[in-house]
Amino acid sequence: MSETYPAPDQYNLVGRPESGYTMKVLSALRYKQVPYQWLDRFTHNKLFKQHARVPLIPLLFLPDGTAMQDSTPILELLEERHLEPEIHPSDPALHFLSDLLEEYGDEWGNKLMFHYRWSYPEDQKRRSRTLAEGSLGGLTVPWFGKLMKPLVAPLLVRRMVPRMAFAGSTDNNRPILVSSFDRLVELLERHLQGRSYVFGERPALADFGLWGQLHQAYTDPSCHKILEDKGPSIVAWIKRMESPELLGDFETLDNLMPTLRPIFSEEVGPRFLAWAAANARAWGMGEKQTGLTMAGQRYYQKTFKYPAQGYAELRSRFAALSEHTVLTEFLRDTGCLTFLAPST
């Protein structure tokens, strides 16, 4: 393997196709038509370890050689440096709702995908096989990799299953996660009927956040069947977002309202924002576990710093728009305002 990587004067994306956050960045690079080089995380393990601050992908090298890892700031930087085509609606209300929906995809959608990926034998088998193939693909003796794959895959399952609780996937939370995924599919399918992207005929930040996780879900057997059976418009959108194109304009909030409102009132507010607010409170009080009630059911998960920071950022962004009547009314009507308005 050549040691000239990362290639100078262009973007270099280190990741894996099993990572929703990697694919989210890849989709944005394609949409912006930015030249890039793909570097497999396993093949370039040494390079990754040298530059990664945390053991998480993606790792994106900028043309100047500096590296970034968090997918949302990466997309914001791409938007700043490569404005056209834009991923933010000019309407401040739509811009904020897109940001909020992207955070829902990153933080709550990931829980739904992770639950299905590692809870069911068929899904475990498929995903552990591709990860084993990837981890062994860089061996200089190919036949040894083929020999080891059946041995490595079960070890990966044994490694990942204990991590499920960190993503909220436990026996206690299972009914909530399954119900949430089913409802998201139903609501998003209805919303995407007759439109190419979430906010109209061009992808917004929300598309990339949601797509990163739903694309992963679609590649796993259990969710693949659910989406094929119940979400034909979602499937078409998932395939479209692999290499998204500018097809037209963003719609107005009034036009989006009938099918966008239920996504926020049934999923973003009572699921994601309720958990994010509880997690932030628990983090602030030094509590190791976050607990809250969703639709009469108790949800428990380890308390985390990063989602608390993301939630604080959302509240800060809304505070700058709190005088925007249309946005405030939408958030109030969907039950989201109580989680975003400044504390009194």
pLDDT along the chain (344 residues), means of 10: 69 97 98 96 93 95 95 98 96 98 98 96 93 72 51 78 89 98 98 98 98 98 98 98 98 98 98 98 98 96 97 97 96 98 71
H or E element at residue 292: strand 289-294
Structural domains in the chain, CATH included, are 11-81 (3.40.30.10), 92-116+168-338 (no CATH)
Could you read off the pLDDT of 2-46 as tens digits, one per residue?
A: 445 788 889 999 999 999 999 999 999 999 999 999 999 999 999
pLDDT at 274: 98
Cβ atoms of 308 and 284 within 8 Å: the answer is yes
The DSSP secondary structure of 238-290, one letter per residue, reads: HHHTTS----S-BPPHHHHHHHHHHHIIIIIIIIIIHHHHHHHHHHHTT-SEE
**C-alpha distances out from residue 292 to 171, 272, 288, Å:** 16, 12, 14
C-alpha to C-alpha distances, 35 to 32, 172, 226, 268, 281, nearest whole angstrom: 9, 45, 35, 34, 42
126-162 confidence digits (pLDDT tens): 999 999 888 876 544 454 445 555 667 778 777 887 8
Distance (Å, whole) CA 127 – CA 119? 11
Q: Which pair of structure tokens corresponds to residue 125? A: 């088998």
Distance CA 306, CA 319 (A): 20
What pairs with residue 14 in β-bridges? 39, 59
Do 139 and 201 contact (CB within 8 A), yes or no? no
